[in-house]
Chains A and B, each alone.
Chain A
Amino acid sequence: MKFETPATSNPIDQLKVIGKPADRVDGPLKTTGRAPYAYERHDVVSNPAYGYIVGSAIAKGRIGGIDSAAAKAAPGVRAIVTADNAGKLGKGERNAAKLLGGPEIEHYHQAIALVVADTFEQARAAAELLRVDYVKADGAAFDLAAVKDTGQPKPLFGGPADTARGDFSGAFAAAPVRFDATYTTPDQAHAMMEPHASIAVWNGDKLTLWTSNQMIDWGVGDVAKTLGIPKENVRLVSSFIGGGFGGKLFLRSDALLAALGARAVGRPVKVALQRPLMFNNTTHRPATIQRIRIGADRDGRITAIGHEEWCGNLPGGRPEGAVSQTRLLYAGANRMTATRLAALDLAEGNAMRAPGEASGMMALEIAIDEMAEKLGIDPIEFRIRNDTQIDPERPDRPFSQRQLTECFRTGAERFGWSKRDPQPGRARDGRWKIGIGTAAAFRNNLLVKSAARVRLDGNGMVTVETDMTDIGTGSYTIIAQTAAEMMGVPLEKVVVRLGDSSFPVSSGSGGQFGGNNSTAGVYAACVKLREAIAQKVGFNSAEAEFADGEVRAGNRRVPLAQAAADGALTAEDGIEYGDLDKKYQQSTFGAHFVEVGVDVATAEIRVRRMLAVCAAGRILNPKTARSQIIGAMTMGVGAALMEEMVVDKRAGFFVNHDLAGYEVPVHADIPHQDMIFLDETDPISSPMKAKGVAELGICGVAAAVANAVYNATGVRVRDYPITLDKLLEQMPDVG
């Protein structure tokens, strides 16, 4: 199905199942421990051997040699896979560095060997016996600040490295009120709870990988390319995925090494990337340095806005894209962005939840707060005054929907914004200095083609198959709701099967595009199945209605099960898009509100209240969508207050590479969270009239926290995370 013109009314609009806060259909499996994740497939794989990954102990250079004699002789060891004996390997299209390093080493903890043994304990013990001689390379770069000026222009996702409209320099110089500041965001880790894990089984020249991957079709392609085998010989299965956040978009070393190990020992091999390797072995959100300049007239209208990003990555890597939202979020006739990427020899930087906008909004939305203060205008009023209903770079492109102002007004009222003291450092509650902050949320809505297969059987059951993944987002549930709505059956009559490369190729899970696109693909397949059913029972498909388990036309009605009585009916189709995303700018919007307390003596920061108001098209399931937003708000608190992979600038690695050193929010850090979805449908996005929500929720949170900390203390921190040591020196006298 080609989606080329805005959606008109369709069966989804009935909202009998869609739009209802249904419990997750996979909830009982997950909460009782019965949902099998990649490493747990005892049901399909028996007698596996265990692989244990060895990571490089240098960041750049080469391996002089590996003495594996002791490891080979250790009890239970079946094979030691290294680049020396793995055969010729390619590199996945989406990998910057090789997944099995050697002799050349490209980053610290790059996998250099897999020890395969009969048991996990044997493999782990033998891995300790490998003796590796390294030859370190000179001239490696690990410090972004030191190399930023060597950065080169590098295009972002969906945009050139440099953008300009009007005369930024002239307008900025002429602006009556000018603001110019530089911000930094650190390297961050996805730190999803399930490590990268895979079980590999070869059957002749055909490989099956039970793995944990967000993008099944990308994974199949990159497995095939890396191993040099045909794509049709690779099957990937990811039925349940213990979190991804972008960290599982790509083929990683666990899957490749499991495949190589299984080939070496002629037996299934299971591999979980050890947690302490994850931080340096896999991808991460790369650090940025961002300069923001804003010029405005005295009434608070922006006349010039500029955003520059400096970032670093391995050769072949990409920049974070932190300037992207600044092209769209606020009005202003004169504007520029620039992105510079320098070579860094840390692990690959790549997508993490809202790549680009999450980092960019951390800086931009502090800058907006600072500029509002400089102008003496309420920060919400300043944002509203510079709202735009058109793409500021291309005035012929309207936003498909844009309720940013409504988000702020609704949130301000609910949160009690009027009670905020605009003078920082004055509000107190006992030993706590109290601050309230706000920030816009903004993330683009992306359109990606997506297909599905739908089957009606003689029991009236509807089965949906698509290689879409559920990484905690609720895909199982919203896909079941979509099929139930389309076929006129209750949720219990729908079975959803996901994450298998033998199913039609979906959008996959990433860029908050999974929900809208995968359900639109299921919609398309259901339209086709409805036609097949109508035809089967002799109804005109244009007149046929599907409700209460029946297909109806005029006064005739036939139970669905009867239509499939002499054989299941199957339909396969997908959604593809025309140019509605070029004619219109499709984005999602929100406003975050945060109240913090800062201890007057210790500068300990506690988040006391949080609210997000979001406008993101039709909300397919308010319960799971809300969870996406509050989860993203939680990750935003982490970004604001604690998350930072600390770089050892001499040895070239992230020092705090486990869950004790890399701090993420825990229960005690997060208060009750409130969130509101504004009523919205966006017929320009898809037949579902929905948009993404999962990444919108993180964009702007950290800045809202930062602005609240400033409001509480009067101390402006521009280098994330905002830790108490950055406040203490400047804290006003306690009193």
Chain B
Amino acid sequence: MQGPSDFELSRRKLLLGTAASVAFSAASAEARAQTPVVPAQAAVPGIATMKVSFNVNGAPREIALDMRTTLLDALREHLHLTGTKKGCDHGQCGACTVIAGGRRINSCMTLAVMHEGDSITTIEGLGTPENMHPMQAAFVKHDGFQCGYCTPGQICSAVAVLDEIKAGIPSHVTADLDAAPQLTNAELRERMSGNICRCGAYSNIAEAITEVAGRPT
């Protein structure tokens, strides 16, 4: 927990950070003409902001952010990509799962400024209502969701899980670490267990993923 003295200490750093980021933003004005910039907090006094540039769903994005901003809040509150959900904000539920640099991560557990130069795929980047990703379409077909709040995280995880298995990455239940892992029921359920669905659509989710993976159920 932060005490008053910690706060005094960090406040000095905050002010320094602000000045630096203002200069930085001005210098990159030309780049901003091509890249959408959300200047959300650049002007707020007393906050250490920092510019971060990353690629979200194929588009370059540059934002000046309070350095405490999680990747999750950067997506939801600054880029208005609210498909990525905040279920617990503590890395316990998986609703905020996105794919960064080809790997799935809990976006609530990582600060946005740590992702300079990264390529991030959110649920919005996988497909649209009119042109769904095969995993999204399979979730609809198999009713792999109910309230829909864990669903973007489940789908991002599911897409990444299939890639992990293809890449030969073992899991806790992989019996033979020398053999290529297979998409067994146990592997699928183990690898998806970081994504909680309180509505209890697990059985249907498993069928959706299995169909996309091309294995008969």
Contacts and interface: CB of A to CB of B under 8 A. Distances in A.
Contacts of A664: 196, 198
Interface string A664-675: 111110111100
A473 B66 CA distance: 39
B206 A32 contact: no
A240 interface: yes
Interface string B162-196: 00000000000000000000000110111011111
A245 B129 contact: no
A666 B198 contact: no
Interface string A106-128: 00000000000011111001001
A31 B151 contact: yes
Top-7 shortest CB links A-B: A33-B83, A634-B200, A242-B149, A75-B46, A472-B147, A472-B146, A30-B148
A59 B203 CA distance: 40
B68 A667 contact: no
Given A27-B140, A34-B124, A193-B150, A121 B83 contact: no
A532 to B, nearest CB: 32
A548 B68 CA distance: 57
A74 B186 CA distance: 50
A76 B87 contact: no
B199 interface: yes
B92 A32 contact: no
Interface in A259-282: 272, 274-276
A678 interface: no
A243 interface: yes
A42 B202 CA distance: 31
Given A42-B80, A630-B200, A194 B85 contact: yes
Given A119-B44, A195-B87, 12 more contacts: A26-B148, A33-B81, A33-B83, A37-B85, A75-B14, A121-B47, A240-B148, A242-B148, A659-B196, A660-B90, A668-B186, A668-B192
Contacts of B1: 128
A632 interface: yes
13 contacts: A23-B141, A24-B140, A32-B136, A119-B66, A121-B68, A125-B68, A190-B198, A193-B85, A242-B87, A472-B147, A659-B90, A659-B93, A668-B186
B60 interface: no
Most B-side CB within 10 Å, residue of A30, A34, A633, A671: A30
Given A23-B141, A32-B124, A42-B82, A119 B41 contact: yes
B116 interface: no
A623 to B, nearest CB: 5
B89 interface: yes
Most A-side CB within 10 Å, residue of B128, B152, B200, B203: B200
Contacts of A363: none
B200 A272 contact: no
A46 to B, nearest CB: 10
Given A121-B69, A243-B147, A34 B129 contact: yes
A240 B201 CA distance: 18
Contacts of B68: 121, 125
A243 B199 contact: yes
Nearest to B144: A31
B66 to A, nearest CB: 5
Interface string A236-259: 000011111100000000000000
A334 interface: no
Given A31-B145, A193-B93, A75 B199 contact: no
B143 A624 contact: yes
Contact of A31 (B41, B132, B198, B200): B132
B199 A36 contact: no
Interface string A17-53: 0000001101111111111110110100000000000
A221 interface: no
A275 B87 contact: yes
Contacts of A624: 143
Contacts of A668: 186, 189-190, 192-193
Given A42-B82, A121-B68, A125-B2, A193 B196 contact: yes
Nearest to B131: A32
Contacts of B130: 28
A32 B123 contact: yes
A654 to B, nearest CB: 16
Contacts of A120: 73, 77
A53 to B, nearest CB: 13
A473 to B, nearest CB: 7
Contact of B188 (A76, A276, A667): A667
B136 to A, nearest CB: 4
A474 B140 CA distance: 12
What interface size band does chain B fall in?
35 or more
Interface residues of A, number: 72
Contacts of B88: 195, 275, 658-659
A34 B201 CA distance: 20
A37 B149 contact: yes
Contact of B202 (A24, A125, A474, A667): A667
A75 B130 CA distance: 43
Interface string A152-194: 0000000000000000000000000000000000000011111
A672 B203 contact: yes
Contacts of B124: 32-34
Contacts of B139: 27, 31
A75 B47 contact: yes
A472 B204 CA distance: 14
A635 interface: yes
A471 interface: yes
Interface in B81-111: 81-90, 92-93, 95
Given A23-B141, A34-B83, A192 B46 contact: no
Contacts of A29: 129, 148
A467 B77 CA distance: 28
A39 B202 CA distance: 26
A631 interface: yes
B32 interface: no
B196 A76 contact: no
Contacts of B7: 70, 74, 125, 129
Contacts of A240: 147-148
B87 A630 contact: no
Nearest to B78: A119
Most A-side CB within 10 Å, residue of B81, B151, B188: B151
B152 to A, nearest CB: 5
Nearest to A672: B203
Interface in B19-51: 40-41, 44-47
A377 B45 CA distance: 77
Interface in A611-636: 623-624, 626-628, 630-635
Given A31-B140, A75-B47, A241-B147, A275 B90 contact: yes
B197 interface: yes
B115 interface: no
Contact of A32 (B86, B126, B192, B193): B126
Contacts of B128: 32, 34
Nearest to A190: B198
A244 B147 CA distance: 9
Contacts of A630: 200-201, 203-204
B147 A194 contact: yes
Contacts of A27: 139-140, 143, 145
B208 to A, nearest CB: 10
A265 to B, nearest CB: 15
B205 interface: yes
A30 B151 contact: yes
Contacts of B203: 630, 634, 670-673
